[in-house]
């Protein structure tokens, strides 16, 4: 907010300087010069040429985000909630295109670490994870993408994903027979972000793979994959990618 107030103050100072030079300006920087053509010739008056107009540079337009912040525009938390509402709206009137646009907006918002941490506070984990099972391929793809973005290099969101049952969902999607390569690879990306440097998630992922009959990845269910060992984690992730490509 302090930054926004400073920008507004700068605009005010520039506007006052322009006004002193005979111009007025709006928040968008548009100038309106007052006319100064001298006295209107009348009886006994000598007509004179209009004085040359002197214009001062107007103030720079105010950033719309600054105005929104100062005067009650939607916050990024509001935008996140609105995006998820569109994504999960059961109404057939909401087109797939609009849902994907909302997903794209949501993904860009949660690239910010603070916004990613807001997913829990706003109770958005459950609706987001539910889309991993959506009937539309593009919806499953974007859901996995957003999960991966949210948990990348973020232990707090890794913990919440695990607590909300997201890791088994990702393993199931990454290894699902009949699923498209595109979705399986994006689920693998999300799983990679979820388990790196977070042992509890790595253990659950290994256990889920074991349940699906892929003991080779976890030493027949007896050997843990060290989540801090990037080479070992890469072996698991590369194997999942190869399975997705062969699908």
Measured in residues, the chain has a length of 247
Q: What is the CA radius of gyration of the chain?
A: 29
Distance in angstroms (rounded) separating the CA atoms of residues 243 and 10: 58
Q: What are phi and psi of 187, to 5 degrees?
A: -65, -35
pLDDT tens figures, 131-148: 999 999 999 999 999 999
Distance in angstroms (rounded) separating the CA atoms of residues 70 and 88: 30
Q: What share of the chain is helix, strand, coil (3-state, %, to 5)?
A: 65, 0, 35
> End-to-end distance of the chain based on CA atoms, in angstroms?
51
Distance in angstroms (rounded) separating the CA atoms of residues 96 and 101: 9
Q: What are phi and psi of 23, to 5 degrees?
A: -125, 150
Q: Is the confidence at residue 217, as pLDDT, over 70?
A: no
Q: Say which range, 34-38, 56-60, 78-82, 127-131, has the weakest mean pLDDT.
A: 34-38
Residue 69: its pLDDT value, please? Answer: 62
pLDDT tens figures, 10-30: 666 666 666 666 655 555 555
């Amino acid at each position: 907010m302090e930054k926004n107030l400073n920008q507004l103050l700068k605009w005010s100072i520039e506007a006052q300087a322009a006004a002193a030079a005979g111009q007025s300006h709006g928040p968008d920087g548009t100038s309106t010069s007052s006319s100064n053509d001298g006295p209107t010739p009348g009886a006994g008056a000598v007509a004179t040429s209009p004085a040359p107009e002197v214009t001062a540079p107007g103030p720079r337009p105010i950033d719309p985000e600054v105005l929104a912040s100062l005067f009650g525009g939607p916050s990024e938390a509001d935008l996140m909630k609105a995006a998820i509402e569109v994504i999960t709206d059961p109404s057939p009137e909401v087109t797939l295109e609009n849902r994907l646009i909302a997903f794209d907006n949501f993904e860009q918002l949660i690239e910010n670490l603070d916004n990613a941490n807001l997913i829990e506070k706003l109770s958005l984990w459950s609706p987001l994870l539910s889309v991993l099972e959506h009937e539309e391929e593009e919806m499953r793809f974007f859901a996995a993408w957003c999960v991966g973005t949210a948990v990348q290099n973020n232990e707090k969101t890794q913990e919440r994903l695990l607590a909300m049952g997201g890791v088994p969902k990702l393993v199931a999607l990454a290894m699902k027979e009949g699923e498209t390569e595109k979705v399986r690879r994006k689920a693998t990306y999300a799983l990679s972000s979820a388990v790196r440097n977070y042992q509890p998630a790595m253990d659950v992922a290994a256990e889920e793979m074991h349940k699906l009959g892929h003991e080779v990845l976890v030493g027949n269910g007896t050997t843990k994959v060290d989540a801090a060992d990037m080479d070992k984690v890469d072996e698991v992730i590369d194997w999942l990618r190869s399975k997705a490509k062969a699908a």
